[in-house]
Each structure stands twice: as C-alpha cells, then as structure tokens.
Amino acid sequence: MNGNTSRLTSSEIASLWTQYLQETSAVCGCKYVLATIKDPEIRSVYQLSLDLSEKHVNELKAIFQQEDFPIPIGFTDEDVNLNAPPLFTDNFWLEYIYNMTVHGLFGHNLSFSVSIRKDIRDFLYQCNLDAMDVYNQSIEVLLSKGLYDKPPGFSNPNTIEFITDLSYAVDVIGKRRKLNSIECGNIYFNLKKSILAKAILLGFMQVTKNKEVRDFMEKGVKLTNKHIRIFSSILHEENLHSPPLLDNQVTNSLIAPFSDKFMMAHSGFLFNAAMSYYGTALSTSMRVDLIGHCEAAILRDLKISAIWGNIMIKNGWLEKPPEASSQQQLPF
C-alpha cells in the first residue's frame, strides 16, 4: 500500500479527532471575538485565525469522510452566543490568541511526529505553518502596542563552565544557587499560562448560571492563584520580575458568550496543558526545590482534572475518543 491508502493508525486517529474538537472550539471562540472587538489590528489576527480554523475543519471532515469515519460533534453554533456583550477587553483577546497559538504549535508538532501517512503529514505540516502565521501576526501586534511581557533578561556569560558539585542541584545549608536561564524561562512561561487561565476562569465564573460549573471555576481560580503566588515568589526572591495579572481585563458582563459545555471543556484543556508544561519544567530543572514545586503543581492539577471529568461526564458533555476494536487487529 502507498502512503495515502494505508489505514489510519491509532496515533493518527487520536491526532485528527483531537484537532477536530480544538478547531471547532476555535471557530466558536473566533466568531464571538470578531462580534465584539473594536481594534482593527486585533480583528485582523482573529479573522486570519477563523479562516484557518474553518479551513482545517473542512479538511478534517474530508479525511473522516474518505475514511468512512464518523465526524465528531465537537462544538457548534449552539455553543456560542454572538449577541453577548464583551466579556474580556480587546487587549486580553490579543494575549489570548498569542497563547492559544503556542498551544497549537505544540500540538501540531506532536501530531506530525507520530503520523505515518503522507497525506496526514502534509495536512499537519500545513497546520503548523498556519499556526506560525497566526503566532507571528499576534506577537507583532503585541510588540507594536507595547503589550508583550518579555521574560527576565540574563547577562551573557564570560566563559563556558561545567557543573562540578552536587550543590548545584541540592540546597546546601539553606543556600540555594541562582536560577539558570532554563529554569527561569520555564517559570515565566508557566506563569503566563496560569495568569491567562485565571482570567478566563474568572470570566466564566462570572457569567455561568450553573452552580456546579461556577463552583468548579472558583476552585480553578484558587488553584491558579496558588501557582501564581508560588512561582512568582521564586522569581521575586532573585529580584526578577513576573508577568502582570490579567484580572482587570475581565469586564462586568453577566451574559455568557459560550455554553457551559464549551466553558468547562476549555477550562479542562487549560489544566491538562498546564500539567504537560509543568512536566517539561520538572524534567529540565536542576534545583530540587523547583522539581518539588512542579511535581506538587501537577498533582494539584490532576486533582482538579478529576473533578472536571466528573462534571463533564455527569452532564453528557465529554465526547468519547475512538476506541480499539474488540476484534482481531486489522491489517494496515
């Protein structure tokens, strides 16, 4: 069989199925933002993002139909209220699209790396290029408006050095070494994600009429607050700045722009993504205190993700991923 006629592997199915849910979610989000924002530069970023997501959805549908594979439900026009007033400021939405594109780049690269069929690789390759276009446009607008929060700067080293002592990793008599650039970069990156997640949760908590959903959002706000406090303090101890909060970017609107299903699904995605990023930080950190903080953050996110799963299942909002056949493995 050639590279386009072999059966889809489990990894390829998982990648395409997951992306369909994410792209249909993005379509809903972009449509709402375009209905509420005023800034022309930010609008152009979202128009590009909407056009690309709609293109990806159509291409995914074509692949599913070609494979005689049921098209997931994902998210539809029923999950977005285009008449709802702005829940966040225009500047927030610019920060949001920048961060969401970072998630997309990670996802497309991972999906590409586990795909075999040429048509799937070609599709994912183009998706990655599309995401880079949105990333470049969003960061350029952030920079032009003076809104991009850069990580702390480090002086260039004078020499090349090697680690010669275990004290580099272990706290010796209460004395910790300074953060290295990898550790500082990971902390700042994860803080930006937590700060964005907190603002999203605050907005969703403000507009939902479902008590169970509101209680979950409140738990999420408390958790992100805890993580922001812990990791910001590590930077502040070394006189390094942390990213600014986005809490004041939430408006006073009480009308939900999205369905409870959408808001819960999006919140769960943010916690799941956070665990992955904390895992990366854990594996690349060389100070035991940082490793411990990342491990604890993952465990706390796992706990709230379990609560999230129960709510999603109870309300029939969690679409089941494709499962293995009970029959003998099919040939490729």
- Does 325 map to a domain? no
CATH of the domain at 17: 1.20.1260.10
**Bridge partners of residue 80, in order along the sequence:** 258
Q: How far apart are CA 19 and CA 104, in angstroms?
A: 9
Of 83-92, 191-200, 319-328, where does mean pLDDT reach its minimum?
Answer: 319-328
Give yes or no for residue 166 having a pLDDT over 90.
no
Q: pLDDT of 249-285, one tens digit each?
A: 999 999 999 999 999 999 999 999 999 999 999 999 9
Instruction: Mark whether 138 and 196 lie in a shared domain.
Output: no
Instruction: Mark whether 185 and 285 lie in a shared domain.
Output: yes
Of 123-132, 151-160, 263-272, 305-314, where does mean pLDDT reach its minimum?
Answer: 151-160
Instruction: Mark whether 16 and 140 lie in a shared domain.
Output: yes
- Of the pLDDT bands very low, low, confident and very high (cuts 50, 70, 90), residue 2 is very low
Q: How far apart are CA 41 and CA 47, in angstroms?
A: 10
- Does 160 map to a domain? no
How far is CA 72 from each of CA 57, 75, 220, 226, 258, rounded to the nearest angstrom? Answer: 11, 9, 28, 36, 19
Domain coverage including residue 280: 176-314
In angstroms, how far is CA 82 from the centroid of its own chain?
23
- Does 324 map to a domain? no
Instruction: Mark whether 127 and 22 lie in a shared domain.
Output: yes
- Does 4 map to a domain? no
> Who's near 62: CB < 8 A, 6+ residues apart?
none
Give yes or no for residue 147 having a pLDDT over 90.
yes
| Predicted local confidence at residue 5, as pLDDT | 62
Instruction: Mark whether 192 and 308 lie in a shared domain.
Output: yes
Averaged pLDDT of the chain: 94
- Does 167 map to a domain? no
Q: pLDDT of 288-330, one tens digit each?
A: 999 999 999 999 999 999 999 999 999 999 999 988 765 545 5
Instruction: Mark whether 203 and 310 lie in a shared domain.
Output: yes
Give yes or no for residue 332 having a pLDDT over 90.
no
- Does 275 map to a domain? yes
How far is CA 87 from each of CA 32, 253, 259, rounded to the nearest angstrom? Answer: 10, 6, 14
Q: pLDDT of 41-62, one tens digit each?
A: 999 999 999 999 999 999 999 9
Instruction: Mark whether 18 and 113 lie in a shared domain.
Output: yes
Residues 144, 146, 147, 148: is their CA dihedral positive or negative? Answer: positive
Instruction: Mark whether 106 and 234 lie in a shared domain.
Output: no
Domain count, the chain: 2
Instruction: Mark whether 120 and 250 lie in a shared domain.
Output: no
Instruction: Mark whether 108 and 217 lie in a shared domain.
Output: no
- Does 198 map to a domain? yes
- Does 308 map to a domain? yes
Instruction: Mark whether 84 and 209 lie in a shared domain.
Output: no
Instruction: Mark whether 211 and 303 lie in a shared domain.
Output: yes
